[in-house]
Structure 1
Amino acid sequence: MYVSRSEGSFINTVSIPPSAFDELLQVFSRHYVCARYTSTLQLLRPRRISELFGIPPATLSRVLHKAEIALDKALQEIPDAQVRYPSKHQQRQWARRVQEKEPLLDGVWGFVDGKNYRVQSPANADLRNAHYNGWLHTVLVTGTLCYGMDGTLVRGRHNLPGSWNDGETTANCK
């Protein structure tokens, strides 16, 4: 995949195009030694990765932890990797671009998307009630992302009670 530079494959696998991956890899490799492995690996569970590379789970956990720290440092160095709320000027520009495509949408500069994740039911009744989603009939945590019209991530909130809907989780996204 890396050699073929297929944009579709990159986006499906790592959620960013090859050019963004190269930029991230350049900064990331300053914080972490990147070993080259050429086999085609699918998303694997830690146990399977340990078996495949012949390393103990504790070692894998330590290596992944160090890689996560290096990734965090690398992302802090890349301005385009930051989650930034747009200025009023940027909001107006995006709103004009949206209205050019959809004339009936006035003042809309982005969109919201939420995701629910099932969790184990808490023993505490109040906590369980807060996380119970009556519409979906299960205990959840929810997360919401707010994007600008060009795909820029402008806000995110996660691990919120599952009883909240997307609108409630984005009340401050104005």
Structure 2
Amino acid sequence: MTGEDSDVLLVLADAFRRQSDGLRREVFRLLVEETRRVAMRSRHYLTTQCLDTPNESAWVILYKYGTDINFLNATSLTRIAFGNLLRRFVGFYYIPRLQPRGRPFKLRFHHQVLGLVLCYYTGSMELGTLCMLFGVPPITLARTLKREEEALTKALINFRPTRISWPSPTRQVELAKLIQEREPLLEHTFGFIDGKTSR
């Protein structure tokens, strides 16, 4: 073996050692990252044991005893409007009866189901917060939300209180006068929709 060959072998051995050290560090980093991910998932995963039962949840207390303002903040509807929508919603969302054998459904009342979808749309709550508010595990929440959205979409079709109607020209003038009395700088304005002034 010549001197050049031994130099080449030394360079190759050094490169191989550096590569295997880098590989070992990368594998270790990936293992640590995966362990951290598993720990975060198991640490923050909600189970039924750590949740209130749905019939004793914060939503049920709000529904039974909450003030109108609390109800409006949670669902963006007044109690009367919620009741009207609930009566319509019942016809589009089926909750099966309790079976003598088998597990009972988590959300057994239509007000829980409708409240869940309205809180989901209205609030900027994370799914974990909704799970705690309604006392349902994440998988039940996701499955129920999908069915609820479909039922709510069907319930809102041709539902008179949810239609958007433009005021007649005479009503626009009346509304503009009312607004101008309250805000003198706003002339010929009869309403605001999402920050857009309608004139």
Q: TM-score, normalised by structure 2?
A: 0.45
The yes-or-no answer on 1:49 pairing with 2:110 is no
Alpha-carbon RMSD across the aligned residues, in angstroms, is 3.3
Q: 1:86 to 1:54 in 2, by over 3 A?
A: same
Partner of 1:75: 156
Letter in 2 for 1:25: L
Aligned-residue offset at 1:5:
5.0
Partner of 1:12: 73
Partners of 1:46 and 1:77 in 2: how far apart? 33
Q: State the secondary structure of the residue aligned to 2:172.
A: helix
Moved over 6 A (4+): none
The yes-or-no answer on 1:26 pairing with 2:87 is yes
8 A contact 1:27–1:77 mirrored in 2:
no
Partners of 1:73 and 1:46 in 2: how far apart? 27
Q: Which sections of structure 1, spanning at least 5 residues, go unmatched?
A: 113-144, 147-169
Q: State the secondary structure of the residue aligned to 2:77.
A: coil
More helix by share: 2
Give the total of aligned pairs: 112
8 A contact 1:5–1:18 mirrored in 2:
no
Partners of 1:47 and 1:104 in 2: how far apart? 43
- Larger relative contact order, structure 1 or 2 (CA cutoff 8 Å, min sep 6): 2
Q: 1:81 to 1:89 in 2, by over 3 A?
A: same
More strand by share: 1
Give the structure with higher Rg (CA): 2
Q: 1:53 to 1:45 in 2, by over 3 A?
A: same
Q: Which digits, 9 at most, give the CA deviation of each residue in 1:1-23, with x for residues without a partner?
A: 21225111111100111011100
Partners of 2:167 and 2:175 in 1: how far apart? 10
Identity of aligned residues (%): 29
Partners of 1:80 and 1:47 in 2: how far apart? 30
Q: 1:16 to 1:48 in 2, by over 3 A?
A: closer
The yes-or-no answer on 1:108 pairing with 2:189 is yes
Partner of 2:24: none
The yes-or-no answer on 1:99 pairing with 2:99 is no
Q: 1:48 to 1:85 in 2, by over 3 A?
A: closer
Q: Which sections of structure 2, spanning at least 5 residues, go unmatched?
A: 1-61, 96-107, 120-124
Relative to structure 2, which stretch is displaced further, 68-77 or 19-28?
68-77
